[in-house]
Amino acid sequence: MLRPRLACLYFSVLFPILSAPPDLIVVGGGIAGLSAALEGARAGLAVTVVERNSVSGGHAVISSGGLSIVGSPVQQRMKIDDTPELAMRDFLAWGEDANEEFVRFYVTRSKTEIYDWMTALGTEFPSAFLNGAGNSVARFHVPTGQGVGLIVPLQRAILKQGGVTFLQNSKVTGLLVTGGKVTGVRMENLRTGRKSELTGGAVLLSTGGYAANLDIVRANWPPHMPVPDRVLVGGGFFATGVGMDLAREAGGTSGKLDHQWNYGNGLPDPFDPEGKRGFFANSFTSIWVNAQGKRFVLEQHEPKITVPEIAKQNPARFWAIFDSAGRRGFRVVHSGFTQDRVEEIFEKSDLIKRGETIEQLASNAGLPPDVLKATVERYNAMVEAGEDTEFQRFGPKAPRSRGFFIPPTRILQPPFYAAPMYILIRKSGGGIRVDSQCRVLNERGEPVPGLLAAGEATGFAGINGKHGMEGTFLGPSILMGRVAAQTVAATADRKPAAAALTEIRTAPKAAPLKYAATCTGCHDLPKLTSARRNGYWHFEEAHKLVLARKWNCLGCHGEMAPFRTASHKIDRQVQTSVCQHCHISPAFGRRAAAE
């Protein structure tokens, strides 16, 4: 006979204690899903978040965290005159096919529903930036801590609030539909393979977009430019379009999948075994040359301009050419790891070519040496003269600064470098069709009962049209998550909201570093990080960095020391203080635009 304590453990694992079904099931714990979870819990809803990853945060964690805000206190302090009317004109003119209804809703509510809400949670916005992309004034607000500066306050607020259950490492495989209404989900635990069903009052699809699914991307490539032979994936790791598949099961529809937000300077990830992923990267003093060794576009222009020009090249890629001074300014951003990984790209892979002379560099990169030498010499002469007569990158005819203008410098100091660059698919501009209440719509334009969607799964409700405004991806995700939860709360039989904790644990107790020896004695990290096990993606990626940097285990898991079998588990509250170890990228020359 099992001892009483062991028997309780046995039955709690094999036969989980039944609890009341949630009022809201959130599929995907990115920034839209977390915003919905917090809004729902505060309204008295019981919320369950089903997340494929071991942690929450989604695409936002590997982003700059920038939000487009209209009329913020930061703008007022910087004497930036911005209004909803001005913002709406900018959005509609730049996007070309934007959802006018949602644009109007966003520009009038971004200050109260996003800025005020996030700052109340603890997010800080030091400045507003002018980043071009159709913005006539500075309204791009980057939080302290970048994307982590948004996700950590949200996660902590949820933990303080209570009323939210997280089912990590769990994949939703289908929807439950009863009498024409969505009533729950079918899911699978990726680590154990266990399949189960979860019923609830409503289901919110916040699964991310389709930017990580090259089949969808290429099948719906924007018709105004050629389809490149190679496109890199640079968005969320789980943004495979699964939300559209789930919506379709219940009669939901999708549209405008050719509305994609791509960057031109995508550097292949040399550590990706499939060769599909890339980084947003550049030396911002570099020049871009095609396979023929010639410049072909204004390098610092908007992706709206540069991406179609790259697609026209044969082949559809380019080389970023820079010298040793440019090497010091080379940045990999929006990728989820800190600057020291750049050293690995340069030193431990053959991706970026180099040479002691321009001719040697050209030979190593497969470029015509005489043409590349002439291109570099001509560019250097224009820098010396103070005017780019080819593409007006600098000089009296240069376009208005995007807010991070980098003064031109000559390419003179060896060694010289050539970084291969491709078009990088970053975000989805189309997706699940929803109404202003974030209810999924069927072919007749009617709401599918019990089913909602928010964030990139919807293409951000079409706010960007064909061309992104910058800051209009995470911002709409926060707003839509909140709106979706409010829609559910308006008709749910709500209970009093759980009493929020006054504070949560955000720092582990001090532990001698010697305790880390216990960790490595039990956990063979080299073996575990190379195993490629289902449901362990985050564990593997994070601990690869731990091994590369030779970190002490207690830097992230101090709360687990000293080892005690009965209490050996991760403290989710304390874990909200360690994300920045991997997810803060360096700035790249952006400056606040106070003028």
pLDDT band at 348 (very low <50, low <70, confident <90, very high): confident
- Amino acid type, 534: N
What whole-number distance in Å separates Cα of residue 27 and Cα of residue 251? 17
Q: Say what the pLDDT of residue 19 is.
A: 62
* 228-258 pLDDT per residue, tens: 999 999 888 889 999 999 999 999 999 999 9
Residue 313 C-alpha from the chain's centroid: 28
- Cβ atoms of residues 365 and 419 within 8 Å: no
Q: Say what the pLDDT of residue 17 is.
A: 38
For the chain, the domains span 17-61+146-212+429-491, 261-425, 513-583
What whole-number distance in Å separates Cα of residue 98 and Cα of residue 463? 5
Q: Which residues contact 532 (CB under 8 A, 6 or more apart)?
A: 540
* 465-505 pLDDT per residue, tens: 999 888 899 999 999 999 999 999 999 987 888 888 889 99
Segment (H or E) for 4: helix 4-14
Q: Where are the alpha helices (DSSP H) in 339-495?
A: 340-347, 358-365, 369-385, 474-491
List the strands of the sheet with 195-199, edge to edge: 170-178, 181-189, 195-199
- Cβ atoms of residues 398 and 180 within 8 Å: no
* Inter-CA distances, 192 with 87, 186, 347, 536, Å: 49, 15, 39, 11
Q: Which residues pair with 447 in a beta bridge?
A: 441
**Domain 17-61+146-212+429-491 CATH class label:** alpha beta
CATH architecture of 261-425: Alpha-Beta Complex (3.90)
Rg (CA), the chain: 25
- The structure's pTM equals 0.92
- Cβ atoms of residues 466 and 436 within 8 Å: no
Read off the pLDDT of each residue in 422-426 and give the average, rounded to a whole number: 94
What whole-number distance in Å separates Cα of residue 37 and Cα of residue 65? 19
Q: Say what the pLDDT of residue 586 is.
A: 57
What whole-number distance in Å separates Cα of residue 168 and Cα of residue 165? 10
Token digits of residue 466 = 């064909």
Token digits of residue 208 = 């991310």
DSSP codes joined into one string, 270-283 = TT-TTS-BEEEEE-
Segment (H or E) for 355: strand 353-355
